[in-house]
A = this chain, B = another copy of it.
Amino acid sequence: MNKPTVPKGTRDFSPIEMAKRNYIFNTIKEVYALYGFQQIETPAMETLQTLMGKYGEEGDKLLFKVLNSGDFMAKLSPEELAENNSLRLASKLCEKGLRYDLTVPFARYVVMHRDELQMPFKRYQIQPVWRADRPQKGRYREFYQCDADVVGSDSLLNEVELMQIVDTVFSRFKIRVLIKINNRKILTGIADYIGAPDKITDITVAIDKLDKIGLEAVNAELETNGITPESIAKLQPILALSGTNEEKLATIARTIASSEVGLKGVEETRFILEKLKTTGLNNEIELDLTLARGLNYYTGAIFEVKAVDTPMGSITGGGRYDNLTGIFGLPGLSGVGISFGADRIYDVLNTLDLYPQEAVDATRILFINFGEKETDYCLPIIRQVRAAGLSAEIYPDSAKMKKQMSYANAKQIPFVALAGDDEMQAGKITLKNMTTGEQTLLTPQQLIESIT
């Protein structure tokens, strides 16, 4: 008998972990709903036709593929077998794969259901995704994504509301965050301005690392990628840009004044920041021209969120994209979305010890089991307690008192009820507060009031 294990890179979630995760997911869901987003779910498996070619060559390799059912070998020719090419053979052996993210399934959903959907369509989706990545600390092969997107509207009010959602969610978590915002169009304008429009990807990939590797290393990388010294020189004042968001916007607008698309990006960013002043945010929002995030995907606003009080990478991100569904034959549908990093938020809440007690509370009261007679006395009372909305248990066996009390302790149950002969004769229960040790003799109704 081998010891059972879980597959590499996957995890079980214990009751306490689930309570914390539910707190995170429920908070995000509540806020999404407050803004009129509606939940959808898609199947864990998608056809490989839907998944392949959407995440680059590397992504294709990281897809978990599901073996065809039945006699899958019958469909293989001896030649195909003899070729012994794993990658090519996989597509013969498998027609389905596990979803790699929520974006491609969402695009597929929108195309398949376009006739039922009312545009703009505001959906959220909280489901696991799977990637055959090499597992390492904080990186799993199964993890949840929590996405919200609006498709079918170009209005920047969507960006404004997504920022409000981010602000509200982290306010509820009591995590202080810095929201960073940028715009792909400004980045295009910068590439135009420094005379390297064709190098925009290299430029943004490099300057995105400014925080991590510093200015010198960024410049070195730029040079390696064939950006001319003149272009690099022109870029320096932009990288060094400081001041308020308004000051930065004013400076960059002057700098890239010759780039029409660049100015459009400035204007969009100004609109978003101004509207957010009207609504008010609890957290700071900062224009960061080095922010790039999956540049080839985003076409307008780009967001990223970091915790202020603990070092941790991006805990939320998103942006505007064009043509979400073009790849499935429905062109012209643009959208904007955000994605909360649940695993990282989990860690931040743990590090900063921010889980509210009620989120992790399990059972409110345990009734001690002294035997059948006492149980008969307790059962109708327990029913009343539960009818009042309070979670209650009776220890199922009339085990030793010590064992029952250690069960209460292990489950962190705050109250214990005891009813022996005296209590039964008086029609009462002794309530023990497990924190203070205090014991009180109460009627069932008083007991309910005491623990509510």
Contact = CB atoms under 8 A, between A and B. Distances in A.
Given A10-B43, A11-B43, A98-B44, A86 B112 contact: no
Contact of A46 (B7, B46, B98, B279): B7
A240 interface: no
B379 A44 contact: no
A142 interface: yes
A42 B86 contact: no
Contacts of A116: 14
Nearest to A89: B73
Grouping DSSP codes into helix (H, G, I), strand (E, B) and loop, the A interface class, with mixed when no group exceeds half, is mixed
A40 B1 CA distance: 25
A96 B278 CA distance: 53
Contact of A275 (B45, B47, B123, B379): B379
A349 interface: no
Interface stretch (A59-67, A187-195, A258-266, A351-359): A59-67
Given A12-B113, A164-B383, 11 more contacts: A1-B328, A6-B42, A7-B46, A14-B40, A19-B39, A36-B391, A64-B66, A81-B84, A120-B407, A161-B396, A280-B383
- Please provide the 7 A-B residue pairs with the shortest distance between their CB atoms, ordered closest to farther: A15-B38, A10-B43, A36-B393, A155-B396, A118-B410, A36-B363, A69-B132
Interface of A: 1-7, 10-15, 18-19, 22, 33-36, 38-47, 49-50, 61-62, 64-67, 69-74, 81, 84-86, 89-90, 93-96, 98, 108-109, 111-113, 116, 118, 120, 122-123, 128, 130, 132, 142, 150, 153-155, 157-158, 160-161, 164, 168, 275, 278-280, 328-329, 362-363, 366, 369, 375-376, 379-380, 382-383, 386, 389-394, 396-397, 406-407, 410-411
